């Protein structure tokens, strides 16, 4: 869930940064194996600037930190999980901790 939400947020951020309609991404995945309902829900929320929390970013970051800590304890490298945790923390620092996990979208902009 955390990975998928981050991927959607980054994809929409890139589309917006490139001045491409992010709905093109949704059209591209339509009917394929990546066309899952959760992807569409989070994409719609970001496109509508609706970050009402279904799963608060602060709570997701806590869970991601536990995952990363367990991986370190087990001597397992999870660089993607570490990168997602960094994005979550960046969005929290920007004031989005009480918003939905999809608010990692805001960590994409400098």
Model confidence at 44: pLDDT above 80: yes
φ, ψ of residue 75 to 5 degrees: the values are: 60, 40
Model confidence at 45: pLDDT above 90: yes
Continuous H helices in the chain: 2-17, 23-29, 37-47, 57-73, 79-91
8 A C-beta contact, residue 12 and residue 24: no
8 A C-beta contact, residue 27 and residue 47: no
Q: Which of 39, 16, 9, 23 is nearest to 101 (CA)?
A: 9
Predicted model pTM: 0.90
Q: How confident is the model at residue 16 (pLDDT cuts 50, 70, 90)?
A: very high
8 A C-beta contact, residue 3 and residue 42: no
- The C-alpha angle 99, 91, 98, rounded to 5 degrees, equals 20
- pLDDT at 1 (0 to 100): 87
Q: Which of 109, 69, 98 is nearest to 85 (CA)?
A: 69
- pLDDT at 34 (0 to 100): 87
Domain 2-101 has CATH 1.10.1040.10: yes
What residue segments make up the domains of the chain, in order of their start? 2-101
Q: Which of 109, 102, 98 is nearest to 5 (CA)?
A: 102
What is the per-residue pLDDT across 64-88, written as a single tens digit (0 to 9) for each? 999 999 999 999 999 999 999 999 9
């Amino acid at each position: 869930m955390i990975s998928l939400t981050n991927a959607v947020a980054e994809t929409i951020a890139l589309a917006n940064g490139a001045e491409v309609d992010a709905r093109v991404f949704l059209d591209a995945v339509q009917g394929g194996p990546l066309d899952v309902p959760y992807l569409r829900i989070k994409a719609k929320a970001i496109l509508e600037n609706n970050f009402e929390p279904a799963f608060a970013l602060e709570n997701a970051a806590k869970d991601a930190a536990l995952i990363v800590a367990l991986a370190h304890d087990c001597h397992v490298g999870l660089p993607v999980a570490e990168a997602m945790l960094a994005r979550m923390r960046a969005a929290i620092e920007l004031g989005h901790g009480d918003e939905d996990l999809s608010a990692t979208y805001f960590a994409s902009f400098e």
